[in-house]
Amino acid sequence: MNPKVKKALAYITRERDSKTQLLVFTHPHSPEAGLQAPSGTVEQGEDTKAALLREAFEETGLNNLQVVRKLGIFDYFNPETRMVNERHVFHLRLAGDCPETWEWLETGGGSVPDNEGHLFALFWVDLVKPIELAGDQGLYLRYL
């Protein structure tokens, strides 16, 4: 059996008009990937929180994020890689301001070279109604 791949998953929130909003994205060139939250691989020997902030920056361009708390860990079988991802889920809060919507070209540093250069279309959604995130990423949203 293959070893688990350790992943960090970021629920990035902000308060706007008395509502909590979650940062999500789609890939304009791969719409089949669905609605997602920033996440990525924790490199060998890397601290999970450091990986979380690195991945959040690589996928959003935001560096003004504060870790609120760890929400939990769960295993997810990735049907594409046929490996188990051990997902470490964190709540982060935006400290400052940013656009309502923007596009971001992923920056380097990831362990999968062909992921570099993915285009992310980022936007905020209100957490007043259920949000369906791809690949069971929304499993811990109820803890926000």
Encode pLDDT of 93-135 as tens digits. Answer: 999 999 999 999 987 654 444 445 789 999 999 999 889 999 9
User: Alpha-carbon distance 135 to 133, whole Å?
Assistant: 7
Average pLDDT over every residue of 69-75: 97
Q: For the CA atoms of 23, 111, 7, 76, what is the dihedral angle to 10 degrees?
A: 100
48-63 pLDDT per residue, tens: 999 999 999 999 999 9
Residue scoring higher pLDDT (84 or 80): 84
Q: Give the model's pLDDT for residue 117.
A: 73
Which tokens is 104 given? Answer: 């971001």
List 65's β-bridge partners, or say none. 94
Query: What would you measure as the largest C-alpha separation in the chain, in angstroms?
Result: 49
Is residue 94 within 8 A of residue 14, CB to CB? The reply is yes
Closest among 77, 55, 65, 67 to 1, alpha carbons compared? 77
Q: Which residues contact 2 (CB under 8 A, 6 or more apart)?
A: 82, 83, 84
Question: Is residue 88 exposed (0-12), middle (13-18) or buried (19+ Cβ within 10 Å)?
Answer: buried
Q: What is the DSSP letter of 30?
A: -
Predicted confidence at residue 108, as pLDDT, reads: 64
What band does 1 get if pLDDT is binned at 50, 70 and 90?
low
**What global pTM score does this model have?**
0.91
What does pLDDT average to over the chain?
91
Residue type, 49: K
